[in-house]
């Protein structure tokens, strides 16, 4: 059992470090090229902090642990709203960019509903995975085009050759860490689930989901502390969109994902409920207050009690 915990802890540590390096290097490159903070949050940071979910889910699917693969995505999306947005709002109320309300929040809710529809027959097929991947391409292209239209003046101060090379190297090192960390973390998680006779999907919804969401939590808390609520909210919303469209899409394109009944009737609807609550709170006053953040944290705690008590 001790070896299983070592595998999981080592993998989680390398995974988080890899995500940190990837996000730091890639976001610095983007900001140096004059990309707006909210766009960085929705794309570079969201994609970077979602890479642990992708590699963990991909490794789980290859290992035959589909419950961990899907549970990781659903659980991570709930963590992003319940803990990441909730705790960030407790630090400082989060003010939303108008584009988040008008364009990105509806995409997050729609992607969640489409995901539930695709899994309703018990499997997410390769064709459905391809459709989800097509959705992330369209979403990202829309953000980039909108940013280019809204951008005025120059492109910002470009990074020098040395700084740019260092950031690229940091991003590559982060990617390597993600691949290695995902392998060890999933190996440990599968063995822990077997040892304690806990269903793989519950491990994916809780332990693995929280672990792979640590980059989102760290990035969002740091952004909030520095008054960059645009990056924080963009990270949460963008990560949820990427988790469904890119992670599930990419993994199911390689190998169709079979879904347990409880995931269809209980856990994914809970994920949609968290997404709808985020949209509702942001629509009323374009901000998430400390009280609303506390409600998210309490709701997440209730979700954990529910899945382990079921």
Tens digits of per-residue pLDDT, 80-93?
Answer: 999 999 999 998 99
Arithmetic mean of pLDDT, 111-139: 95
Q: Which residue has the tokens 């491990």?
A: 203
Compare 156 and 266 and report the one with higher pLDDT.
266
- Residue 41: its pLDDT value, please? 60
Choice among 57-71, 93-107, 215-229, 256-270 with the minimum mean pLDDT: 215-229
Compare 203 and 29 and report the one with higher pLDDT.
203
- Residue 31: its pLDDT value, please? 64
pLDDT value at 66 more than 80: yes
Average pLDDT value for the chain: 82
Compare 220 and 115 and report the one with higher pLDDT.
115
pLDDT value at 71 more than 80: yes
Compare 257 and 200 and report the one with higher pLDDT.
257
- Residue 135: its pLDDT value, please? 95
pLDDT value at 307 more than 50: yes
Arithmetic mean of pLDDT, 94-121: 88
31-47 pLDDT, tens digit per residue, is: 666 666 566 666 666 67
- Residue 55: its pLDDT value, please? 79
Rounded to two decimals, what is the model's pTM? 0.81
Domain 2-149+161-309 CATH class label: mainly alpha
For residue 168 the two structure tokens come to 């690229």
Residue 49: pLDDT band by 50, 70, 90 thresholds?
low
Residue 2: pLDDT band by 50, 70, 90 thresholds?
confident
Q: Say what percent of the chain tops pLDDT 70.
A: 84
| Domain residue extents for the chain | 2-149+161-309
Residue 112: pLDDT band by 50, 70, 90 thresholds?
very high
Arithmetic mean of pLDDT, 9-13: 82
- Residue 152: its pLDDT value, please? 47
Question: Which of 48-57, 62-71, 188-197, 207-216: highest mean pLDDT?
Answer: 62-71
What string of H, E and C letters represents the secondary structure of the chain? CHHHHHHHHHHHHHHHHHHHHHHHHHHHHHHHCCCCHHHHHHHHHHHHHHHHHHHHHHHHHHCCCHHHHHHHHHHHHHHHHHHHHHHHHHHCCEECCHHHHHHHHHHHHHHHHHHHHHHCCCEECHHHHHHHHHHHHHHHHHHHHHHHHHCCCCCCCCCCHHHHHHHHHHHHHHHHHHHHHHHHHHHHHHHHHHHHCCCHHHHHHHHHHHHHHHHHHHHHHHHHHCCCHHHHHHHHHHHHHHHHHHHHHHHHHHCCEECCHHHHHHHHHHHHHHHHHHHHHHHCCCEECHHHHHHHHHHHHHHHHHHHHC
177-228 pLDDT, tens digit per residue, is: 766 776 777 678 777 777 778 887 888 888 888 877 777 777 777 777 777 7
- Residue 34: its pLDDT value, please? 64
142-181 pLDDT, tens digit per residue, is: 877 776 776 544 444 444 434 777 877 887 787 777 667 7
């Amino acid at each position: 059992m001790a070896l299983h915990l070592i595998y999981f802890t080592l993998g989680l540590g390398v995974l988080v470090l890899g995500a940190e390096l990837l996000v730091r290097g890639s976001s610095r490159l983007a900001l140096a090229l004059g990309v707006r903070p909210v766009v960085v949050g929705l794309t570079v940071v969201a994609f970077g902090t979602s890479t642990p979910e992708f590699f963990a889910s991909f490794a789980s699917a290859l290992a035959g642990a589909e419950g961990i693969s899907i549970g990781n995505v659903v659980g991570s999306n709930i963590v992003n709203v319940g803990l990441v947005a909730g705790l960030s709002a407790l630090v400082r109320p989060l003010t939303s960019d108008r584009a988040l309300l008008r364009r990105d929040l509806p995409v997050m809710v729609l992607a969640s509903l489409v995901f539930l529809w695709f899994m309703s027959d018990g499997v997410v097929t390769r064709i459905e995975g391809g459709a989800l991947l097509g959705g992330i391409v369209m979403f990202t292209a829309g953000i980039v085009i909108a940013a280019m239209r809204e951008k005025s003046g120059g492109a910002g101060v470009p990074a020098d050759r040395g700084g740019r090379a260092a950031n690229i190297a940091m991003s590559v090192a982060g990617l390597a860490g993600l691949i290695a960390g995902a392998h060890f973390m999933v190996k440990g998680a599968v063995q822990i689930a077997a040892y304690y006779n806990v269903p793989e999907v519950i491990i994916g919804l809780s332990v693995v989901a929280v672990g792979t969401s640590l980059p989102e939590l760290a990035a969002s808390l740091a952004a909030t502390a520095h008054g960059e609520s645009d990056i924080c909210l963009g990270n949460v919303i963008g990560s949820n969109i990427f988790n469904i469209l890119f992670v599930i899409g990419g993994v199911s394109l390689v190998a169709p994902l079979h879904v347990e009944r409880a995931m269809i009737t209980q856990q994914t609807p809970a994920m949609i409920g968290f997404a709808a609550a985020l949209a509702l709170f942001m629509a009323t006053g374009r901000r998430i207050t400390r009280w609303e953040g506390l409600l998210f944290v309490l709701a997440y705690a209730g979700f954990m009690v529910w899945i382990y008590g079921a």
